């Protein structure tokens, strides 16, 4: 009986290699496509994703930590309301910005989340704070409104802008006697989002 010798043409192996190469190319293109997807500006605004080459700052988290720091120093009575004033520029106490208003709202939201009653009172920004021997104290109108609302404390704050940072200083003030019962300072890096918020009025 003669032995039968078979010869492989190599076509099945070549086809398999070609299919593997195609799959690898498809996967590489998919990965490249995912890497090239732009982060939504709104997502970056709130959650600190990269926008325009910058790594954004999580402003909500920074302001919530600041509110927690105030409460850690001076625990408040959940049965009595708290007022939160708009943050103003330390250089111009009669002016605020979109940043000042947004920071105040985020701080107020955190206080509510912690179980406190926050009373929203709209006051003119030029009536919030007044200088007194180097200290920034509650104006007469704020004290009057606070006492009318039976507020146990008022959160006030200022911000100062530098080339690379925005420095925020918060105070928890007892309207009776203008006594500062807690204070906290922090800073956020100056990025595109912060710069835009400062420009907004």
pLDDT greater than 60 at residue 160: yes
Question: Which of 25-34, 47-56, 81-90, 157-166 shows the lowest per-residue confidence on average (mean pLDDT)?
Answer: 47-56
Look at residue 144 in the predicted model and tell me its pLDDT. 75
- Checking DSSP bridges between strand 129-132 and strand 135-138, what pairing results, if any? antiparallel
Phi-psi region of 115 (alpha: psi -120 to 50; beta: other; left: phi over 0): left
All domains of the chain in start order, with CATH: 11-55 (no CATH), 57-199 (3.40.50.10610)
Selected residue with higher pLDDT from 151 and 185? 185
- Coil/strand/helix, residue 102: helix
SS3 11: helix
Q: Tell me, what's the pLDDT at 92?
A: 82
Residues 6+ apart with CB under 8 A from 36: none
The CA angle 121-175-96, to the nearest 5 degrees, is 45
Rounded average pLDDT over 6-29: 53
Residue 15: what pLDDT? 52
Q: Which residue has the higher pLDDT, 32 or 84?
A: 84
Q: Compute the mean pLDDT over every residue in the chain, rounded to the nearest whole number.
A: 74
Confidence at residue 25, expressed as pLDDT on a 0 to 100 scale: 59
**Cα–Cα–Cα angle for 48, 54, 57, rounded to 5 degrees:** 30
**More confident site: 35 or 68:** 68
Higher-scoring residue by pLDDT: 162, 52:
162
Chain segment 77-120, per-residue pLDDT in tens: 999 999 888 888 888 877 788 999 999 999 999 999 999 999 87
With a cut of 90, say whether residue 16 has pLDDT above it: no
In whole angstroms, give the CA distance from residue 10 to residue 155.
79
């Amino acid at each position: 009986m003669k032995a039968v010798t078979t010869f492989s043409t190599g076509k099945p192996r070549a086809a398999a290699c070609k299919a593997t190469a195609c799959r690898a190319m498809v996967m590489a293109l998919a990965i490249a496509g995912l890497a090239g997807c732009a982060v939504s500006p709104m997502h970056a605004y709130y959650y600190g994703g990269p926008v325009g080459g910058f790594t954004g700052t999580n402003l909500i988290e920074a302001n919530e930590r600041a509110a927690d720091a105030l409460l850690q120093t001076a625990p408040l009575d959940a049965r009595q309301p708290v007022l939160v004033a708009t943050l103003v520029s330390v250089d111009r106490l009669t002016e605020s910005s979109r940043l000042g208003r947004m920071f105040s709202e985020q701080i107020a939201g955190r206080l509510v989340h912690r179980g406190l009653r926050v009373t929203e009172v709209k006051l003119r920004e030029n009536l919030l704070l007044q200088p007194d021997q180097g200290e920034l104290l509650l104006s007469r109108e704020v004290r009057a409104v606070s006492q009318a609302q039976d507020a146990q404390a008022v959160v006030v704050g200022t911000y100062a802008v530098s080339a690379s940072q925005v420095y925020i200083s918060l105070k928890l003030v007892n309207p009776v006697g203008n006594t500062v019962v807690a204070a906290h300072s922090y800073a956020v890096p100056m990025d595109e989002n912060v710069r835009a918020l400062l420009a907004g009025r």
